């Protein structure tokens, strides 16, 4: 797994590889083939092996030129399993995420102690309530960089539930390109659809 002391360096994903997401048929693996941790959550070996100090995780991600993502899941969540079985089975998605983001997984009902950006220490389940995370999966995108920000400014975008592959990757692109400073996600999607259609590419939005 990725550790704070040795974040994995990943190769850039090519435009050709990205285009497969728009035109390929759906790809998935069996949920039973995805590793499950002691807390019952599906895991990926590229998730950050975090000390759960979010301020440090953000700084370490920034040192690698990446942004921090906090991923809330829970045991037995069918949509979490779908995210792992389908979305994370697509190399173009995982390559893009690993290149641009560091992912910290949090258990919606967990008791592991975390340190929030404001320095408060609290268990995972209380952090989830504090951040108003009510269901899973929820992907919270954290403001990139190391500069100080007010707690309410730390979140720049959120995936509230399961997004299918096209929209899932598009949100990561939206954040990596910092388009949230220019437009809402819906407009970003409309612009992306139009650009693809002009190239004769039909997005794979099954």
Query: What CATH number corresponds to the domain at position 24?
Result: 3.40.30.10
Encode 74-93: b = buried (16+ Cβ within 10 Å), e = exposed. bbebeebbbbbbbbbbbebb
Residue 206 lies in a domain: no
For residue 28, the model assigns a pLDDT of 58
- pLDDT values of the chain reduced to their tens digit, one per residue, 206 residues: 444 434 333 333 333 344 444 444 445 555 458 889 999 999 999 999 999 999 999 999 999 999 999 999 999 999 999 999 999 999 999 999 999 999 999 999 999 999 999 999 999 999 999 999 999 999 999 999 999 888 788 999 999 999 999 999 999 999 999 999 999 999 999 999 999 999 998 877 76
CA R_g for the chain:
17
For residue 17, the model assigns a pLDDT of 40
- Bridge-based pairing state of the strands 138-142 and 155-160: antiparallel
Residue 78 lies in a domain: yes
Both tokens of 66, joined, read 């990446």
Residue 9 lies in a domain: yes
Residue 100 lies in a domain: yes
Domain count, the chain: 1
For residue 161, the model assigns a pLDDT of 97
For residue 167, the model assigns a pLDDT of 96
Query: 99 CB contacts (<8 Å, ≥6 apart)?
Result: 10, 11, 12, 13, 66
- Name the residue range of residue 87's domain: 2-198
Distance CA 73, CA 96 (A): 21
For residue 205, the model assigns a pLDDT of 72
Whether the Cβ atoms of residue 70 and residue 50 lie closer than 8 Å to each other: no
102 sits in which H/E element: strand 101-107
Q: In angstroms, how far is the first alpha carbon of the chain from the final one?
A: 31
For residue 15, the model assigns a pLDDT of 37
Residue 204 lies in a domain: no
Residue closest to 115 by CA, chosen among 157, 156, 56, 39: 56
Residue 132 lies in a domain: yes
Distance CA 196, CA 16 (A): 13
Torsions phi, psi for 16 (to 5 deg)? -60, -45
pTM: 0.83
């Amino acid at each position: 797994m990725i550790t704070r002391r040795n974040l994995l360096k990943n190769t850039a994903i090519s435009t050709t590889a990205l285009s497969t997401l728009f035109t390929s048929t759906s790809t998935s693996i069996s949920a039973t083939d995805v590793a499950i941790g002691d807390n019952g959550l599906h895991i990926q070996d590229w998730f950050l092996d975090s000390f759960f100090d979010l301020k440090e995780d953000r700084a370490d991600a920034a040192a690698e030129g990446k942004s921090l993502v906090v991923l809330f899941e829970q045991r037995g969540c069918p949509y979490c399993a779908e995210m792992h079985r389908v979305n994370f089975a697509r190399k173009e998605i995982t390559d893009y995420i690993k290149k641009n983001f560091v992912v910290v997984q949090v258990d919606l009902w967990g008791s592991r102690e975390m340190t929030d950006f404001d320095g408060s220490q609290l268990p995972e389940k209380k952090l989830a309530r504090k951040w108003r995370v009510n269901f899973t999966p929820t992907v919270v995108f954290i403001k990139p960089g190391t500069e100080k920000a007010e707690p309410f400014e730390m979140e720049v975008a959120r995936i509230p539930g399961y997004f299918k592959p096209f929209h899932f990757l598009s949100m990561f692109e939206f954040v990596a390109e910092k388009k949230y400073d220019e437009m809402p996600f819906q407009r970003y999607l409309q612009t992306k659809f139009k650009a693809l259609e002009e190239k004769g590419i039909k997005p794979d939005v099954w």
